[in-house]
Amino acid sequence: MAQTKRIGILTAGGDSPGLNAAIRGVGKTALGFYGMEIVGFRDGFRGIVEDRRLKLDRSTLAGILTVGGTILGTSRDKPHRMTIDGRVHDMTNVIVKNYKRYGLDVLVCLGGGGTQKSALRLAGAGLNVITLPKTIDNDVAMTDASFGFATALDIATDAIDRLHSTAHSHHRIIVTEIMGHRAGWLTLGAGIAGGADVILIPEIPYDVHKIAEAIRRRSRAGTNFSIVAVAEGAMSKEDARPYGIAEARKEKARNQKEKHGAKLELAALEARHSGNTLRLAKQLEELTRLESRVTILGYVQRGGIPSPSDRLLATRLGSACSDLIHENVFGVMVASRGDRAEPVPLEKVAGKRKLVPPDHPWVEAARRVGTCLGD
């Protein structure tokens, strides 16, 4: 008789709505449909290192479909760079040891880009690993969508809707910052859906004078307010130039020393970039002579009840994950392709990022309806 399969599961990286729906999708299919066992590890990869577990059974999986966050907790800890007692250690071997000690057949990792890289590393260390794509940024490669994005899109769009009326009443520019350091999907999507007048994303560096001119044009036409939707990582053309050079240096690094140097440079540039939204609002106020205000949406975008489409996506990817475990398909991410869920080798996902192509239909549509993209 075949032995009962044992699944370990964890959530890593920033939390997002739909994580619990995915845990439930994996767990209910594994327990109820295939008769497998499943155990959760708390707070990302740290839980498997520190032996902090949560047994997942029918009662723990009940009632979590609509709950935000993750019942397992999460962290940004990486297996190969984990701070223990104030010092950074490579804990990969401890994870391998504990995986064997718990008699696991597979480790399911729910996460974004960083988690896909960590999972590939663990696969390289000999573990059976499967991942699911989660992030409000929607930038995981090789999948149509990641859960968390649809809910965040609703939240950010609702915020822009609300900002419209107050911007209109006060004849102000309201600059609203939306999450996304590298990818502009959320800002672009919410900006289009909310009818923002200006949308600024990391993939399209902006010229502040062009934005000011677009706002002044609106004023001349009799509309004395504007909504500017700006991604956290959107940059002016001047700021984007050194950033691009440092990124290329990191990509082309021939050894660890060069890579480390490029990373330090990028970190310094990122530090300098913080507060950019406030500076942008001030620049626009000076250039247009319209009063400006800033609203930073921040973590509100990651919180609360997942939307129906995120629940649906997370449930079907989670359930498909258990199907793949049953078929002994490992070393893959469960990607969404149209209505289907498909396994994609982790090598094709890890270290890649799905950015907004400059000629994407969303970009084209935004331009056609007269939205300024700052370029």
Sites of contact with ligand F6P (CB under 6 A)? 14, 76, 112, 135-137, 179-181, 232, 302
Nearer to ligand F6P, 39 or 142 (CB): 142
Nearer to ligand F6P, 125 or 296 (CB): 296
> CB of residue 212 vs ligand F6P: minimum separation in angstroms?
27
Pick the catalytic residue from 105, 137, 139, 154: 137
CA distance 13 to 10: 10
Torsion of CA 309, 312, 313, 318, to 10 degrees: 160
> CB of residue 65 vs ligand F6P: minimum separation in angstroms?
22
Nearer to ligand F6P, 22 or 104 (CB): 22
> CB of residue 148 vs ligand F6P: minimum separation in angstroms?
8
> CB of residue 274 vs ligand F6P: minimum separation in angstroms?
11
> CB of residue 182 vs ligand F6P: minimum separation in angstroms?
8
Dihedral of CA 199/205/209/213: which sign?
negative
Nearer to ligand F6P, 230 or 290 (CB): 230
Nearer to ligand F6P, 16 or 315 (CB): 16
CA distance 320 to 252: 37
Nearer to ligand F6P, 15 or 197 (CB): 15
Asked about 137 being catalytic, the answer comes back as yes
Count of helix runs (H) and strand runs (E) in the chain = 13, 13
> CB of residue 202 vs ligand F6P: minimum separation in angstroms?
11
Give catalytic residues, as residue numbers. 137
